[in-house]
Amino acid sequence: MAIRTASAAGFGGILLDAATAHLDLTTLSTTGIREFRHLLSAANVKLTALRAPLDPKGFSHGADIDHQLNILEKILRAAANLHCPLVSLDVGPLPSPPSQPPPPAITPKQAGLILIPDFTPAKSPDAPPAGIAPHFTPQVDGALAELGNRADRYGVPLALHSGLSGFAALIHVIRAVDCPWFGIDLDPVALLPDDWDIDQLFSVAGSLIQHVRARDALLGDRHRTRLVPVGTGNVDWPHLLSNLHHADYRGSITLDPASLADPLAAASAGRSALLKMWPGGSRPS
């Protein structure tokens, strides 16, 4: 079992899928929950997070939102029963964030005698911001607001990420919903092709980071990536760890080598690399 493997490799915590073909943690009985917690305790391994599955459509058009919310509620309940501090969730496609407002127009007085005609076509005041499909934004916001209510019911935070949208869209929707139980699940590989870099992410939303997924990749042509062991790719780990250190980050850093040829060897090598790079040493577990 993964718990024994993690313990034998010297890891102090583990992130588990909430439901797999072999084990569905949402269906455990009271006795099963007690036995599972005992197994973790005996192995001296903490359950750092549950990873929640979600339809690839997320909360966008065509998704069965009520069904998805019911599944996620079961996972939140299981996390609370297992004393798991966090649920990690890929929320799927998100609406594009509104464009930043243009700078204020220069008046003729400010421009002196040089008058520059405005060739910008007028926009309808009722038109939605560019890149946002009508009804998509309220649908996503409404689903996430309801998910936030259920997270509050069980007292379990949700670390959100999106494999189909950028960090600007993710942070915009988190702030739009304004749920204290929502934060960011940071995957550094997702930052490689993103419009934002490490410094911008931390300056805008460093306090929202609840979990870090330790992965690395080589960045190729047209934003293509190939996963490699942590410390051997294009992720600037020293810079990222320095930002986490200065932000007084207290959450978990979870190595995710599942897509690599030898996951256990990659996890052990990644842990050693992170320990060497962490400012002051000894932070990752």
The DSSP secondary-structure symbol of 24 reads B
Query: How many angstroms from the chain centroid is the CA of residue 269?
Result: 23
CB neighbour list of residue 151: distance below 8 Å, 6 or more residues apart: 76, 87, 157, 158, 179, 181, 182
Per-residue DSSP letter, 248 = T
Q: Summarize pLDDT for 196-227 with one digit per residue, the tens.
A: 999 999 999 999 999 999 999 999 998 899 99
In angstroms, rounded to a whole number, what is the distance separating the alpha carbons of residues 158 and 160? 6
Q: How far apart are CA 150 and CA 99, in angstroms?
A: 31
Ordered structural domains, the chain, with CATH: 2-98+134-277 (3.20.20.150)
Q: What is the pLDDT of residue 98?
A: 81
Q: To the nearest whole number, what is the mean pLDDT of the chain?
A: 87
Which pLDDT does position 22 carry in this prediction? 87
pLDDT at position 62, please? Answer: 86
d(CA 86, CA 154): 11
pLDDT given at position 163: 92
Q: What is the pLDDT of residue 112?
A: 52
Supply the pLDDT for residue 53. Answer: 87
Give the CA distances from residue 153 to residues 73, 122, 157, 211, in Å, rounded to whole numbers and listed in that order: 9, 46, 11, 21
Task: Mark the ranges of the chain whose per-residue pLDDT is less than 50.
Answer: 102-103, 108, 111, 114-135, 285
Query: What does the pLDDT read at residue 104?
Result: 56
